[in-house]
Amino acid sequence: MADADSCPCLEESQQHTHYQHIRSLGVDETNGRFGDVELWQCKSCGRYWLRYLVEYEHLTASGRYFMGLITLEGVDNLPPEKTIPYLESLDWHFYGGSYFDGKKGKSFSHHIPVDS
Ligand SMILES: [Zn+2]
């Protein structure tokens, strides 16, 4: 494992290959979203990441993802529909996707723009 305190995964979301896809955590159907929830792990530092992906097929540029840190213990108590409230409770999270004009970044907001 690399220096766990200063991993690039904490600065911005990395390319897919930087992560190990651990498993799917289900689909969040709140408000008809069908958001895909997955658990990823950083290959460098071993941190676990929640990754939430949603897209509205009838809307262009609606695809977006949100990522936040989580522990394995936290995952056990997280049904898919609680993912967004969990991410909103964090001090910060990552976002990206066509909804954000293809940009990505780090947000300190406690509101996640997940609905169409
Ligand atoms: Zn990392």
Q: Kindly state whether residue 112 falls inside one of the protein's structural domains.
A: no
Tally of structural domains, the chain? 1
Distance 8 CA to ligand 1 centre (A): 6
Distance 46 CA to ligand 1 centre (A): 6
Q: Kindly state whether residue 94 falls inside one of the protein's structural domains.
A: yes
Distance 62 CA to ligand 1 centre (A): 27
Q: Kindly state whether residue 81 falls inside one of the protein's structural domains.
A: yes
Q: Are 114 and 54 in contact (CB under 8 A)?
A: yes
Q: What's the CA angle centered on 39, arms 85 and 116, to 5 degrees?
A: 45
Q: Kindly state whether residue 107 falls inside one of the protein's structural domains.
A: no
Two tokens, residue 35: 């958001």
Distance 65 CA to ligand 1 centre (A): 18
pLDDT in tens, 30-55: 999 999 999 999 999 999 999 999 99
Q: Kindly state whether residue 114 falls inside one of the protein's structural domains.
A: no
Q: What's the CA angle centered on 54, arms 49 and 84, to 5 degrees?
A: 55
Domain containing 87: what range? Answer: 8-98
pLDDT in tens, 59-112: 999 999 999 999 999 999 899 999 999 999 999 999 999 999 999 999 999 999
